[in-house]
């Protein structure tokens, strides 16, 4: 009996030791995971800050050349507004789920790339107009704080063009969707009258 009791106590002690070592390893692994996540976020934030700084520099360098074209900032703003709307239209067209049905994987990848390029162009044009404006909280009169003549009119032209074209596209898309829905309802109504079809609601309830 004494030997069995000693063996049981030794077994319990070994289990406690193993469980303690496992807990330490688990805590160490969690600590490294948290540290890695924090470093990743810091690196991502640094890349974003550097990228935004480079973009701001690029815009501030090229904007004076663009606003010097015939028509000045009004022409540039209208063209950028047109680019934004065209990018949104293209991105919505590429991203439509029904256009990927039955497509091969390379075709779906190509559509995804096309959609990404369109959305990048849409938002890039908007960020270009905003980047040409003077920086916020600027009181030192630095290069990023100077007002570029023509950027104010470019912003107004961009907003007016994007709003007008966006509204027209929205109305046309709504009209096309309503026409397609009416055609589908008329087709189903004809089928029900002939007794050769049922409504989608009836088919879904079966």
Domain boundaries, the chain: 2-181
Residue 124 has pLDDT above 70, yes or no: yes
What is the dihedral sign for C-alpha 177, 178, 183, 185? Answer: positive
Kindly state the average pLDDT of the residues 49-78: 84
* pLDDT, greater one: 167 or 98: 167
- Binned at pLDDT 50, 70 and 90, residue 138 comes out as low
Rg (CA), the chain: 31
Number of Cβ within a 10 Å radius of residue 154: 27
Measured distance CA(123)–CA(83) in Å, rounded? 9
- Binned at pLDDT 50, 70 and 90, residue 171 comes out as confident
Mean pLDDT of the chain: 77
Is residue 121 within 8 Å of residue 83, measured between CB atoms?
A: yes
């Amino acid at each position: 009996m004494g030997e069995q009791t000693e063996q049981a106590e030794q077994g319990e002690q070994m289990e406690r030791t193993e469980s303690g070592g496992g807990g330490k390893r688990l805590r160490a692994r969690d600590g490294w995971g948290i540290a890695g996540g924090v470093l990743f976020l810091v690196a991502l934030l640094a890349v974003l800050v550097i990228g935004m700084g480079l973009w701001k520099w690029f815009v501030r360098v090229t904007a004076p050349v663009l606003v010097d074209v015939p028509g000045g900032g009004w022409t540039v703003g209208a063209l950028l507004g047109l680019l934004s709307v065209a990018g949104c239209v293209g991105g919505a067209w590429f991203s439509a789920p029904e256009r990927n049905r039955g497509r091969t994987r390379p075709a779906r990848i190509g559509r995804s790339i096309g959609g990404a390029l369109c959305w990048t162009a849409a938002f890039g044009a908007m960020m270009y107009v905003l980047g040409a404006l003077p920086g916020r909280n600027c009181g030192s009169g630095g290069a990023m704080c100077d007002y570029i003549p023509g950027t104010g009119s470019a912003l107004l032209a961009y907003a007016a063009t994007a709003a007008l074209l966006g509204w027209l596209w929205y109305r046309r898309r709504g009209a096309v969707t309503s026409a397609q829905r009416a055609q589908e309802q008329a087709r189903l109504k004809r089928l029900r009258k002939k007794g050769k079809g049922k409504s989608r609601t009836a088919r879904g309830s079966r």
